[in-house]
Structure 1
Amino acid sequence: MQHFHANEHPHRRYNPLLGEWILVSPHRAKRPWQGQNETLLEETKPEYDPNCYLCAGNIRANGIQNEHYTDCFVFENDFSALLKDEVTFDKAPSELFQLKPERGINKVICFSPKHHLTLPEMAVDEIEKVVQVWKAQYLELGSLDYINYVQIFENKGSIMGCSNPHPHGQIWAQSSLPTQIEKTQKNLSIYYQKHKTSLLADYLKEELKQQQRIVIENTHFVALVPFWAIWPYETLIISKRHFGSIIAMTAEETTAFAEIIKSLTTKYDNLFETSFPYSSGIHQAPTDRIAHPEWHFHMHFYPPLLRSASIKKFMVGYEMLGEAQRDLSPEQSAQILRELPTIHYKTKNL
């Protein structure tokens, strides 16, 4: 009988944040690939695009003109998924047909006036300004009495549903806790009540001891491939100090956070020498006027690329009907990312 090896044998891993399992099949990474594998031509974008509705000074679809901004620019989404209006509502009579109105605000944050940039191509001090805007928006939106959660996120790349290549992210602030947050809230609370410590603080201590899945570490943050990662090159940025939300960051932590975002996203771009697509987002304490000592600030990156700039991995088949599954082990993907340079491939010959 063979002895179990995590990089050779199929197994399941537990995600303590969501209380869910994932199937890992590392032996399948050896199989030959005969699927989609097109060559990508990377488009050269101008610094300013007169047809872009996010560029400084341009007119958006609703006829409003953007400010002639020089760093970050924030505005309410012209096509919001959530609305501020309060409505009257009669509760649905059946438990099988439940619904309830949801109030909220959607905002867009342009990271830079330069149309051709992405986060890894921006300077650390420019990313720091983005973090400062995230702080201000979390505080402003979270102070509204009907907003109980502020979700800050970025969709990068058209395959992640991004409708405009201009560097930007979004904020969806709403009256309910979103499903993933509710699951995380529950599991963080259970752990905190049992151990009187932060789940992610304890998890990070063990990761730093093992050093198997660490990608980048600086004074205040660690970027790693989580033990339970689903996406091929999924990563998690965790603060070393236990605090619940972005507004608790010190000036030094803010700079360190900007630095690790730049380094990690640069590694992503360098992996296949392409503008690496992903969905990323910050998970932090709700704004429901309740103390949340169980929450520990962290940021998720979910990229779909698997073997090249053109081969993507999305949840299909068994993953939609059974449970999440991955072929490359988290330890293998962490090693690949760890060994990549933090100098962007576009600048290596300059």
Structure 2
Amino acid sequence: MSEQKKLSAGVIRNNLAMADGRTIRYYDSQGQSRSAQDQRPKEEQPGIGELRLDPLLNEWVVMAAHRQGRIFLPPKELCPLCPTKGELLTEVPDTNYEVVVFDNRSPSLRKPEGDWAAPDMVGPETDAGTAAGKCEVICFTDNHGGSFKDLTPQRVRVLLEAWIDRVRELSQEPYIHHIAPFENRGEEVGVTLSHPHGQIYAYSYLPSRVQKMLAVARKYMDETGKVLFDDVLARELKDQVRIVAKNAHWVAFVPYAARYPFEIHVAPLNPVADLAELTPEQADAFPEISLEVMRRLDGVFGIDMAYIATWHQAPVREGRDLLRLHWQITSVRRAPGKLKYLAGSESAMGAFIMDLKPEQSAGQLRDVEL
């Protein structure tokens, strides 16, 4: 028996249990009925991983050894993200879907048992903890071919509604402190399943990048009384030269100090803290600009660009007035047949060096004929 919930934009969510106890959520806009049962034999779910502190950086590192045996680049006919058809029993029991979200089969983070708290940070003597959190897979379409840029505007709206719903629901968990929906595309960035999909990581701690962004934003607020991202966005709108696309509610730009050959930030013109705070008007205007940006990215060299697209937003329980929602798309492709490798300076020292000025890449993106 499914559990149903009405969302915005005419989207209905149906929750069903999977054979091993996980939950699959169907997000539909055409009044579909969902009752297909997972016919696979029940499997034991992996145990929770370990959380260890790197005392030199005061950063948490997750140990998830059970992920070593996960599926790696299966052929289309064995894709676990396609709908179930014939003898192929997949992660999606139904024979079709619009957008689905389900708990990852090999999660880096998982729901803890009972009350949970991170170990006290006391340098090298810090105890190991359990890797609490949530890892979910979100499939954009039941069509194995294509990618985000091939979705219809209506499908992107359903996808956005699913992201919004997951942020709202995961934010209610007391052990969740930050939520990051993201998509990887291309083997160059480590994709192991080629079906159009993304993931949602809900952390029980603040990732190091979020910690740094929050500290910088807090210092800027203390010194100026203003929100840092708002001033960054105002500068881009004033300079214009790095703007890639714009509509009534969103703007896409290459940041002034981009780290990657092609890096695009997409932000609402009226700032919000996270996906759950988007207005209906902002949400309805997102498909247009998101599809334009992705088509421009692939149009630069006329090839599918490997990229990582991540939603940055405020943490669940702090910094809500300091950090702003924006969608960051980064590609390591600097020319046909050439990648920007994150080598010694970038990987070892975290010091990025750019071979291409942001103004140049913004111009290349704007020049693409759609």
TM-score normalised by length of structure 1: 0.78
Corresponding residue number in structure 2 for 1:147 = 176
Structure 1, unmatched stretches of 5+, are: 1-47, 344-350
Counterpart residue identity of residue 169, structure 1: G
Q: Does 1:217 align with 2:252?
A: no
Q: 2:298: which partner in 1?
A: 269
SS of 1:325's equivalent?
Answer: coil
Aligned pair partner of 2:332 in 281, 304, 307: 304
Aligned position for 1:40:
none
Q: What SS class does the counterpart of residue 229 from structure 1 fall into?
A: coil
| Matched residue SS, 2:262 | coil
Output the CA distance in 2 between the equivalents of 1:61 and 1:106.
24
2:100 counterpart letter in structure 1: F
Q: Which has the higher contact order (CA 8 A, sep 6+)?
A: 1
Question: How do 1:140-179 and structure 2 match up within 5 A?
Answer: 140-179=169-208
Counterpart of 1:193, as a letter, is: D
- Find 1:320's aligned residue among 328, 347, 370: 347
**Is the contact made by 1:305 and 1:311 (CA closer than 8 Å) also made in structure 2?**
yes
Please tell me whether residue 53 in structure 1 is matched to residue 80 in structure 2: yes
* 1:80 and 2:111 matched: no
The structure with the greater share of residues assigned to strand is: 2
For 2:316 and 2:86, the matched residues in 1 are separated by: 34
Paired position in structure 1 for 2:131? 102
Question: What is aligned with 2:51?
Answer: none
In 2, Cα distance between the equivalents of 1:148 and 1:229? 27
Q: Secondary structure of the equivalent of 2:276? A: helix
- Cα displacement string for residues 98-137 of structure 1 (whole angstroms, at most 9, x for unaligned residues): 4443301100000011111211111111111110000000
CA RMSD between the two structures: 2.5
Q: Residues 64 and 220 from structure 1, CA distance in 2 versus in 1: closer, same or farther, beyond 3 angstroms?
A: closer
Cα distance per residue 1:32-83 (max 9 Å; x no partner): xxxxxxxxxxxxxxxx943211001259999755333421011000010112
Q: Work out whether residues 178 and 315 of structure 2, in 8 Å CA contact, stay in contact via their aligned partners in 1.
A: yes
Distance 1:104 1:340, change over 3 A: same
Counterpart Cα distance in 1 of 2:192 and 2:170: 24
Query: 1:139 offset after TM fit, Å?
Result: 0.5
Distance 1:333 1:236, change over 3 A: same
Q: Distance in 1 between matches of 2:227 and 2:296?
A: 29
- CA deviation after TM superposition for structure 1 residue 189, in Å: 1.9
Structure 1 residue 301: Cα displacement: 0.9
How far did residue 90 of structure 1 move?
A: 10
Letter in 2 for 1:141: L
Alignment CA distance shift 1:59-1:170 (3 Å)? farther
Q: Is the 8 A contact 1:150 1:171 kept in 2?
A: yes
Distance 1:93 1:317 in 2: 29
CA distance in 2, matches of 1:134, 1:62: 26
**1:129-188: CA deviation from partner (whole Å, max 9, x where unpaired):** 110000000011111111111110000111111111111000011210111111111112
* Structure 1 residues 208-247: aligned runs within 5 Å: 208-247=237-276
* Letter paired with 2:314: A
Q: Aligned partner of 1:329: which letter?
A: K
Shift of 1:241: 0.4
Structure 1 CA distance for aligned equivalents of residues 96 and 244 of structure 2: 35
Tell me the equivalent position of 1:136.
165
Specify whether residues 57 and 326 from structure 1 end up closer, same or farther in structure 2 by C-alpha distance, changes over 3 A only. same
CA, structure 1 residues 278+64, in 2 after alignment: closer, same or farther (shift >3 Å)?
closer
Whole-angstrom distance in 2 between the partners of 1:89 and 1:248: 27
1:326 aligns to what SS in structure 2?
coil
Are 1:282 and 2:318 an aligned pair?
no
Question: Which whole-Å deviations, capped at 9, do the CAs of 1:237-292 have from their partners, x for residues lacking one?
Answer: 1211021111111222112222211111101111111121101100111112x461
Aligned partner of 1:70 in structure 2 is 97
In 2 relative to 1, CA 92–188 (structure 1 residues): closer, same or farther, beyond 3 Å?
Answer: closer
1:92 CA drift (Å): 8.1
- Distance across 2 between alignment mates of 1:264 and 1:170: 20
* Count of matched residue pairs: 293
Any runs of at least 4 consecutive aligned residues in structure 1 with deviations exceeding 6 A, and if so which? Answer: 59-63, 87-90
Give TM-score, length-normalised by structure 2: 0.74
| Conservation of the 8 A alpha-carbon contact between 2:107 and 2:135 | yes
**Separation in structure 2 between the aligned mates of residue 61 and residue 171 of structure 1, nearest angstrom:** 25
- In 2, Cα distance between the equivalents of 1:192 and 1:326? 29
How far apart, in 1, do the equivalents of 2:183 and 2:159 lie?
A: 12
**Structure 1 residues 279 and 89, CA gap change in structure 2 (3 angstroms):** closer
